[in-house]
């Protein structure tokens, strides 16, 4: 169990450290960083019950049954609403918490804080999933292809939320960015559960989504540097 957790925490710590140490707008308050991580952990506790409610509302006996389904309208609906509920659970509390805070003063903060919440969510979701469904092999597979998926989708929404907050994104752009994150999560779930070569597409989606943490971080850094020149 300790080994599992170390496998997940080590790379997550590196990503968090990279985001915080390379912030060109100044160091973030430690208390604010802790709060973002705590929010990610707290909403994870709500994700299980939410997914159970969605599964039962769509006619499944449980969320576990819904994980192993043939492709159908019912199954696709579960996959979509599963992704939607998790993205809403990560986004709304973080947005409500950070809005108006003195340290939330640049677009890069949207990437940093939302990614931290997503990291916390993803680390412990992967940990509990590995314990429940497959041990070390599953943890290693998800470590490579899934661990930063939640941080990536949340960073996409957080980046747009920050741009919306500071006036450079309109409401429709924020909504479009959020739905892009939901659809990436949806298609990842769809392909990764297909049990065929389509799994490779799911892995590619996860790697692409994870890379968005760094792409948006770099973009926000350039924007901050341009604004200061």
For 1-59, give the DSSP string: -HHHHHHHHHHHHHHHHHHHHT-TT-PPPHHHHHHHHHHHHHHHHHHHHHHHHHHHHTT
pLDDT of residue 102: 95
> What is the per-residue pLDDT for 65?
64
Residues 176-214 pLDDT 10s: 999 999 999 999 988 887 767 888 898 899 999 999 999
Whole-angstrom Cα distance, residue 180 to residue 28?
28
Identify the CA nearest to 119 among candidates 24, 177, 36, 18: 36
- In 3D space, the residue among 187, 188, 147, 36 whose CA is nearest the CA of residue 98 turns out to be 36
DSSP 72: S
Residue 198's pLDDT is what? 84
Tokens of 26: 């100044």
Task: Please check the confidence at residue 142 and state whether its pLDDT lies above 70.
Answer: no
Average confidence (pLDDT) over 96-123: 96
Q: Report yes or no: 119 and 151 within 8 Å, Cβ to Cβ.
A: yes
Q: Give yes or no for residue 18 having a pLDDT over 70.
A: yes
Q: Residue 6: what pLDDT? A: 82
How many angstroms separate the CA atoms of 113 and 13, rounded?
14
When the pLDDT of each residue in the chain is averaged and rounded to a whole number, the result is: 88
Phi-psi region at 127: left, alpha or beta (left = phi > 0; alpha = psi -120 to 50) = alpha
d(CA 54, CA 64) in angstroms, rounded, equals: 12
Q: How far is CA 121 from CA 48, 62, 84, 147, in A?
A: 12, 22, 15, 9
Cα–Cα distance, 135 to 197 (Å, whole number)? 23
Task: Report pLDDT for 138.
Answer: 54
Residue 165 CA neighbour count, 13 Å, CB half: 20
**What is the structure's pLDDT at 190?**
87
pLDDT value for 212: 97
pLDDT (tens digit per residue) in 43-100: 999 998 998 898 888 887 667 666 665 666 777 888 899 999 999 999 999 999 999 9
Give the pLDDT of residue 184.
Answer: 97
CB 44 within 8 A of CB 125: yes
- pLDDT value at position 13? 94
Q: What is the pLDDT of residue 29?
A: 97
Question: What letter does residue 27 receive in the DSSP assignment?
Answer: P
Backbone angles phi, psi at 87, to 5 degrees: -70, -40
Q: How far is CA 154 from CA 12, 66, 73, 105, 171, in A?
A: 15, 24, 27, 18, 17
pLDDT score at 46: 96
Contacts of residue 61, Cβ cutoff 8 Å, sequence gap at least 6: 55
pLDDT at residue number 7: 79
C-alpha separations of 170 from 43, 88, 112, 166 in Å? 27, 19, 21, 10
């Amino acid at each position: 169990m300790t080994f599992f957790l170390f496998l997940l925490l080590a790379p997550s710590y590196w990503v968090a450290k990279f985001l915080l140490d390379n912030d060109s707008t100044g160091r973030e308050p430690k208390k604010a960083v802790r709060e973002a991580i705590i929010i990610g952990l707290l909403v994870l506790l709500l994700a299980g019950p939410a997914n159970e409610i969605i599964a039962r509302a769509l006619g499944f006996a449980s969320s576990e049954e819904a994980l192993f389904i043939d492709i159908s309208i019912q199954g696709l609906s579960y996959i979509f609403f599963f992704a939607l509920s998790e993205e809403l659970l990560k986004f709304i509390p973080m947005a409500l918490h950070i809005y108006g805070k003195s340290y939330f003063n640049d677009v890069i903060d949207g990437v940093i804080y939302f990614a931290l919440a997503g990291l916390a969510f993803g680390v412990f979701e992967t940990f509990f999933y590995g314990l429940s469904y497959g041990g070390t092999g599953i943890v290693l597979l998800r470590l490579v292809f899934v661990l930063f998926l939640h941080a990536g989708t949340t960073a996409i929404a957080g980046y747009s939320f920050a741009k919306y907050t500071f006036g450079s994104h309109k409401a429709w752009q924020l909504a479009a960015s959020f739905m892009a994150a939901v659809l990436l999560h949806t298609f990842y779930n769809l392909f990764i559960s297909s049990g065929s070569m389509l799994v490779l597409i799911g892995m590619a989606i996860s790697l692409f989504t994870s890379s968005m943490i760094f792409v948006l971080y770099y973009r926000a850094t350039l924007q901050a540097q341009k604004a200061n020149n």
